[in-house]
Structure 1
Amino acid sequence: MTLHSGAPMPDSLRHYMRASQHPARSVPCSHCGAHAHRPCTTRSKRHLLPAPHPQRVSDWAQTTACCPACQVTPEVPCHDDGRQRATVHARRYQEAEGVAA
């Protein structure tokens, strides 16, 4: 259980309350610095964005799924012929979405 504002809430209930959010919000955003389970913001922190930054989605896919294209395990960055990529392969996004569903 997690305590929030003094009231206990089971983790299973918390999961269903967040079901409408993009699963990438479960990791912090390396672009804008938003904490896990918080929406992305503009760099000035004045406006909340309706969708997560592409880098946050890439980080989420990297932490949750294996990549079928380059055969790496979760937490390991994708690569092209030994050279690390800035983002993950498109097939890894599909794999991560399948794991989240």
Structure 2
Amino acid sequence: MGHHQGAPMPATLRHAFRARAHPARSVPCPHEPCHARAHQACIVRVNGRVMKDLHPARINLWERTVACCPECQVQPDIPCHNDGAPLAGTVHDRRIQEAKEILA
């Protein structure tokens, strides 16, 4: 007998199940060579192992996407900088705090 898929899960229930996951899973992973799609776990490409945590670059991307930075006064989606010099692959601590407050 074949497997029959039931009705799709309502969005409210799907959100509750995903609520345990880090919100950064909502963005794709920019880490080379992971590139996990949105809502999928990060993986180690060399052995295919699913990671318990997310790559730091993915968390930084999420923080940059959802929060303004009080430190360097940039809007969401704009990378943090120090006096015009971009921060390489990271964001200011104050932006991390801002992103956490958005979740609350």
Aligned equivalent of 1:95: 98
Distance 1:43 1:17, change over 3 A: same
> Is 1:11 equivalent to 2:11 in the alignment?
yes
Distance 1:47 1:75, change over 3 A: same
How far, CA to CA, are the matches of 1:38 and 1:56 in structure 2? 12
Q: Percent identity?
A: 55
How far, CA to CA, are the matches of 2:35 and 2:42 in structure 1? 8
Once the 2 structures are TM-superposed, how far is the Cα of residue 9 of structure 1 from its aligned partner? Answer: 2.7
Structure 1 residue ranges (4+ consecutive) displaced by more than 3 angstroms after TM superposition: none
Aligned equivalent of 1:66: 68
Larger Rg: 2
> Is 1:24 equivalent to 2:24 in the alignment?
yes
Structure 2 gap ranges (5+): none
How far, CA to CA, are the matches of 1:10 and 1:71 in structure 2? 38
Partner amino acid, structure 1, of 2:100: E
Q: Give the TM-score normalised by structure 2.
A: 0.86
Task: Give the CA RMSD over aligned residues.
Answer: 1.4
How far, CA to CA, are the matches of 1:33 and 1:6 in structure 2? 30
Q: When the two structures are aligned, how many residues end up with a matched partner?
A: 97
Q: Give the TM-score normalised by structure 1.
A: 0.88
Structure 1 gap ranges (5+): none
